[in-house]
Amino acid sequence: MRKDLPDIKILDEKDKRLHQKSEPVTFPLDPELKQKIYDALDYLEMSQVEEIAEKYDLRAGMGLSFCQIGIMKRIFVISEDYGDGTFGRYVVINPEIMSHSEELIYVGEGEGCLSVNRPVDGIVPRYARMRVKAYDENGNEYEIRVREDISIAFQHEMDHLDGILFVDKIDPKNPFKNKDKMREI
């Protein structure tokens, strides 16, 4: 793992850009944009390692959409902590949902977001499983099946690409609406 914290500045939910739709990406990627993808993944991984997060005062995050760092392109990255000091890295460019389960799930303790710096009560219905088509940083098309927490992360980040924050999906009058129709994870 790198020693220096990547230069990543995350926008706050009040920033208008977070409510705008991101533009499709064309290939090949410019080398600076490709480097920003690796920097974002490093940042997420560093944020999930307790000692590093404390040193740099980082909130733990597993996903980051590029609109959150002011780059209005349809790109997001996810870094999944395997719990053994290793991470699964996902680079997702121009994603499209090909299919999804009927079953809905939600995060029991509530979703979080690096752009939302406040506690939020409520649940967000998400598909339990999805098949997504996307491109990697080299322009290679791929399909991936995601489930449970990674499916939630993909949907959370894909919403960002369309200018939607998770807080926008919580019913303010009834934050736990339809909880009994979904499975908690």
Cα–Cα distance for residue pair 127/104, rounded to 1 Å? 5
Beta pairing partners, 141: 135
Q: Are strands 104-106 and 183-184 parallel, antiparallel or unpaired?
A: parallel
The catalytic position among 96, 148, 157, 184 is 157
148 an active-site residue? no
Catalytic residue set:
157
